[in-house]
Amino acid sequence: MSPSRSRYAARDVVVTAMGVVSPYGEGCRAYWEGLSTGRCVLGPLALFPTEGFPSDVGGQVDAATVRSLGMAARSRANRFVIAAAREAIRCAGLAPDTLREAALSIGGAGGGMLEVEAWYHHYYHGEENPRWRGALRTMLPASQTEAVATRFRIEGPRETPILACSSSAAAIATIADLIATGVVDVGLAGGVDSLTRICFMGFNALKLLDKRPCRPFSQDRQGMSISEGAAVIVLESHAHAVARGAQVRACVAGSGISSDAFHAIAPPADAEGAVRAMREALSRSDLTPRDIGYVNAHGTGTLQNDRSEAVALVQVFGAGNVLVSSTKSLIGHTMGAAGAMEAVATLLALEAGVLPPTANLNVPDPDVPFDCLAHTPRPHAVACAMSNSFGFGGQNVSLIFRHPRTFE
Amino acid sequence: MTTSSPPLAVITGIGHIGPLGSGGREVIAAFLRANTTAIGPLAGFPRDSGTRRLGATIPESALEPTEETRRWSRVSHMAVAACRHAVSGAGITESETLHRFGLVVGSEYGDLQSTEAFDAGFLRRGPRGLSAFLFPNTVMNAIAGTVSIALGVKGPMLTLNQPGVAGEVAVARAIALLAAGRAPAVIACGVDELFPVLYEVLGLLDVPSPRGGGEEACTPFDQRHNGPILGEGATALVLETPEHAQGRGAPILARVRSAGWGGLPARPSRYPSPVRLHHRLLDRVLTEAVASPDTIDVAYLSGSGDPEQDTAELALMAGIFGSEGPCITSVTHLVGEHGSLGALRVASAAMTVSSGLIPTLDYLRQPIRQDLRFATQPLSVAPTAVLVHGVGRGGAQAALVVGPSS
């Protein structure tokens, strides 16, 4: 740990609560039980017909969990994100006045498109039904942010970042910025995406879906597995958290955001943008690569992405110098929600001193020169951990979290 | 919210493409001066759009494909065009400079046209009809990705989805990136396109004029208002820290004295009710700008012509300024309404403080409030403080105070 930063500053940003809906079920407890035991939930998708497509494998929140969330009149994505926010707000114990002034950022990609697709298919065939038009009002990703704001009466700065698969990581980084610069004292940041036919069809069209559960960092990997879920994190200035007696779960030590300016869907071979994002996060954290004990990788399982991320990790940390795993191998790629869900995975790993494994990693790729924690969770306490999220369009976001015990 | 008073950011470049032209600030100055509307009967919309026929679209000649642009979606092409004009106007020629810039794109609908085309491909031909080329455009950040590649922008890149106030929020977030030290300069761009399916679907939802009958027209703030007339366009601004702009000797067009965004209580997809309005955001933005309400000379409002929105926004203005408030104006009657029009409102405010130009609301016959001042005559002197305010469905709200360069 860097000796220069052993005390909190007032505007340091800390995590005081989290909420999750995942293919393991509702809540952080179910999420951590699944991750910390290395249970892969990927299998055939049942939410919509998959006949005629090369791959039908993915992660899905089961019907019983969805029913238990209530709010049946809402879109699937809205139900996920409201449930995740509810858990986070309840755990944080935020007073209504505090919540009203809080910032809110919910990243996403697909919005309420699942329900709109059903409407559109009828519309396309000339069978438009006015009774189904309500779905159109939840089509935009911003409608999920609006749903959380309305449900919990949040009236601070509100935004819906869309950075493809790094959307919700950016939500965390930018809300942390608003707290660090004194715009607000409290913010909720997270992300949500439900499965959609468009996402399923699109990644099939790009031939980026593995026919088996995804195998990040494995030499025989053949693509990703799409999935769904939501996560919301409560962020506060350290001074605010202390003043109200909140438990500090971790510190958002720093973050990096960069773009590749290279290609619509492919990263550059030298991973230059990802390297800049990781180095910016380190620099803003006042930490060195040696301080980072674990990286929750973007780790999608596609040939190109895993190779590129490995190149970046080697440049930043040196080959073999950090433990790496991909929790996408357990729950799949939750798209716009992935950054926040993996941030929560990283935070829970920091707390528990147990690192979640990379499932299905049978043949480690020699081009990925890191211990990728194959199959089995690893009891290993780390002080600081990084979570990487990259996305189409050349988006790169890296987050660094620091355990509270590293502060005096 | 901080209460310090230095200029948060300076505006050094403006670019625009819309129904009234494409270019730098001279294009905006020209249509503010002429005060003529681009709204008219839409041509080239193949579907039956019911009783509605008006809109404002960009002439296809302004978006002629070239070798570089032929693979871009139309909305991405619009954004790149606006950003290039802004960068050029800011006097930036070195790609090395742009590498360090950030980019924030605000949009309500993004590239929904590509999403519709992608899904229609499946409905026509099954899995074989799916276009791997179109799919990446279904995610809204594809527009920003195209801009970043075209211009070589490698700093933080954010796309913000927001009904109604996407343009203002993009500018405010760009300023927040500057304040956080993420980049020394950020390009903020608001972009939305109008296309046949969107026009038809918004018609099905009874969003545009003539809602509930009456004349189809763009009449914000007037008793006749009955919904917006839809438009499209892209506006980009180069925002820099004052130190960065001065360091490179950039032309400073205006400064943003304060910026904020937040939410007002509202039902989902509805505008805030006037009985539940509060002024917290406006109070904070005015305080941060060190501007008492009586020092704001002009206010650019959303002014879409939606009765709920007009009512809510004017109630806010009356509540904070009273009858001696700023001269209220809008740009919607010139170019039609779209969710990211706020970027053009900020650019227009910059032109107002730099040259005294203001669009006048010549259509206004019977304002819905008699206790407010509306822009019905040109200004005699350039103002020193202009408020830009927007409110969107669901209660999203944004406000900025723009002042002259010195």
What average pLDDT score do residues A67-95 get? 96
Contact between B136 and A161 using a beta-carbon 8 Å cutoff: no
In a domain, A56, yes or no: yes
Query: Running DSSP on this structure, what letter comes out for residue B395?
Result: G
Q: Residue A89 belongs to a domain with what CATH number? A: 3.40.47.10
Mean pLDDT across A13-35:
98
- Between positions 272 and 331 of B, the ones with CB within 8 A of A are 280
Q: Do the chains contact at B204 and A130, CB–CB below 8 Å?
A: yes
Structure tokens belonging to residue B154: 């490698």
Chain CA centroid to CA A384, Å: 18
Q: Which of B145, B176, B182 sits opposite A264 (nearest CB)?
A: B145
Cα(B195)–Cα(B177) distance, integer angstroms: 32
- Residues of chain A contacting B261 with CB distance shorter than 8 Å: 157-159
The string of pLDDT tens digits covering residues B157-195 is 999 999 999 999 999 999 999 999 999 999 999 999 999
User: Residue B115: which of A183, A184, A198 has the nearest Cβ?
Assistant: A198
- A122 domain-assigned: yes
CB atoms within 10 A of CB B93: 10
In DSSP terms, A250 is beta-bridged to A15
Residue of A nearest to B264 (CA): A155
Model confidence pLDDT, tens digit, residues B271-293:
998 888 889 999 999 999 987 88
Q: Which residues, in sequence order, are bridge partners of residue B402?
A: B256, B386
Q: Residue B123 is nearest to which of A121, A153, A262, comparing CB atoms?
A: A121
Chain B residue with Cα closest to A207: B132
Residue contact A146–B394, C-beta within 8 A:
yes
Residues of A with catalytic annotation? 165, 298, 333
Helix, strand, coil percentages (3-state) for chain A, rounded to 5, are 40, 20, 40
> Residue range A11-32: average pLDDT?
98
Confirm whether A2 is domain-assigned: no
pLDDT at B23 over 50: yes
Range of the structural domain that residue A259 is part of: 13-403
Cβ distance A392 to B141 less than 8 Å, yes or no, reads yes
The DSSP output letter for A289 is: G
Q: Is the peptide bond before B404 cis (omega within 30 degrees of 0)?
A: no
Q: What ipTM goes with this model?
A: 0.97
Looking at chain B from residue 123 to 182, which residues have their Cβ under 8 Å from any Cβ of chain A?
A: 123, 126-127, 130-132, 135-136, 138-142, 144-146, 148-149, 151-163, 169, 173, 176-177, 179-180, 182
Helices (H), B90-212: 95-99, 112-125, 142-151, 166-179, 196-204
Cα separation of B205 and A264, whole Å? 33
> CATH 3.40.47.10: which residues of chain B?
9-254, 256-403
Kindly identify which residue of chain B lies nearest to residue A257, measuring between CA atoms: B156
Instruction: Report the C-alpha gap between B355 and B362 in whole angstroms.
Output: 20
Asked if B103's CB is within 8 angstroms of A259's CB, the reply is yes
Indicate yes or no: CB of B148 within 8 angstroms of CB of A140: no
Band (B48; pLDDT cuts 50, 70, 90): low
Segment B93-107 mean pLDDT: 92
Give the pLDDT band of residue B3 (cuts 50, 70, 90): very low
In a domain, A1, yes or no: no
**Residue B65, C-beta contacts closer than 8 angstroms, at least 6 positions apart:** B77
Q: What are phi and psi of B195, to 5 degrees?
A: -140, 165
A140 Cα to chain B: minimum distance (Å):
7
CATH number, span B256-403: 3.40.47.10
Look at residue A408 in the predicted model and tell me its pLDDT. Answer: 77
Residues A347 and A178: beta-carbon distance below 8 Å: no
With CB atoms and an 8 Å threshold, state whether A158 touches B136: no
| Residue A155 to residue B149, Cβ atoms within 8 A | no
Over 50: is that where the pLDDT of A349 sits?
A: yes
Residue B308's CB: how many other CB atoms inside 10 A? 18
How much is the pLDDT for B49? 54
Count CB neighbours of B267 within 10 A. Answer: 14
Pick the CATH number of B9-254 from 3.20.20.140, 3.40.50.300, 3.40.50.970, 3.40.47.10: 3.40.47.10
Secondary structure (DSSP) of B284-337: HHHHHTT--GGG--EEE----S-HHHHHHHHHHHHHHHGGG-PEEE-SHHHH-B
H or E element that contains B354? helix B342-355
Of the two residues B3 and B23, the one the predictor is more confident about is: B23
Mean per-residue pLDDT for B251-268? 93
pLDDT at B253: 97
Q: How far apart are CA A185 and CA A172, in angstroms?
A: 14
Q: Is-contact A223 A208, C-beta < 8 A?
A: yes
Nearest to A122 by CA among A140, A106, A108, A136: A136
Q: Do B262 and A181 touch (CB under 8 A)?
A: no
Contact assignment for B142 to A155 by CB distance below 8 Å: no
CA distance B149 to A273: 13
Average pLDDT over residues B350-357: 97
Residue B260, pLDDT > 60, answer yes
Model confidence at A42, pLDDT cuts 50, 70, 90, reads: very high
Question: What is the reported pLDDT for A5?
Answer: 72
Q: Taking CB atoms and an 8 Å cutoff, what residues of chain A touch B154?
A: 258-261, 273, 276
Does A41 fall in a domain?
yes
* Per-residue model confidence (pLDDT) at position A118: 93
- Spatial CA neighbour of B119 closest among A124, A76, A194, A228: A124
Residues constituting chain B: 406
pTM, rounded to two decimals: 0.97
Please give the interface size between A and B, counted as residue pairs whose CB atoms are below 8 Å apart: 209
* Residue-level pLDDT at B240: 98
B:341-380 residues touching chain A, CB 8 A cutoff: none
Backbone angles phi, psi at B170, to 5 degrees: -60, -45
For residue B97, the model assigns a pLDDT of 87
The mean predicted confidence, pLDDT, of chain A is 96
pLDDT in tens, A203-260: 999 999 999 999 999 999 999 999 999 999 999 999 999 999 999 999 999 999 999 9
Number of domains in chain A: 1
Per-residue pLDDT averaged across B7-14, rounded? 92
pLDDT reported for residue B6: 53
* Distance in angstroms (rounded) separating the CA atoms of residues B59 and B69: 16
Per-residue DSSP letter, B181:
T
Q: What are phi and psi of B15, to 5 degrees?
A: -135, 150
Which of B132, B140, B268 is closest, CB to CB, to A147? B268
Q: Which residues pair with A232 in a beta bridge?
A: A19, A190
C-alpha span between B162 and A251 (Å, rounded): 29
Q: Which two tokens stand for residue A372?
A: 């990728």
The phi, psi pair for B394, rounded to 5°, reads 85, -5
Q: Is the confidence at residue B47, as pLDDT, over 70?
A: no
Q: Is A3 within a domain?
A: no
pLDDT at A4: 57
Query: What single DSSP character describes residue A290?
Result: G
The mean pLDDT value for A103-114 works out to 95
pLDDT given for residue B7 in this prediction: 61
pLDDT in the model for residue A54: 96
d(CA A277, CA A90): 33
Query: Has residue B205 got a pLDDT over 70?
Result: yes
List of residues 6+ apart from A34 with CB closer than 8 A: A22, A23, A24, A41, A330, A331
Distance CA B98, CA B103 (A): 10
Interval B360-369 mean pLDDT: 97
B205 vs A: CB within 8 A: yes
Task: Report chain B residues whose CB lies below 8 A from the CB of A52.
Answer: 126-127
In a domain, A324, yes or no: yes
- The structure tokens listed for A195 are 């499965």
Q: At what angle do helices A76-92 and A142-152 cross, to 10 degrees?
A: 40
> For residue A236, which of A126, A89, A367 has the smallest C-alpha distance?
A89
Select the residue of A140, A161, A258 nearest B159 (Cβ to Cβ).
Answer: A161
Report residue A402 as tokens.
Answer: 């620091």
pLDDT above 70: residue B1: no
Mean pLDDT of the region A109-125 = 94
pLDDT one-digit tens code per residue, A244-295: 999 999 999 999 999 999 999 999 999 999 999 999 999 999 999 999 999 9
Answer yes or no: are the C-beta atoms of B257 and B372 closer than 8 Å.
no
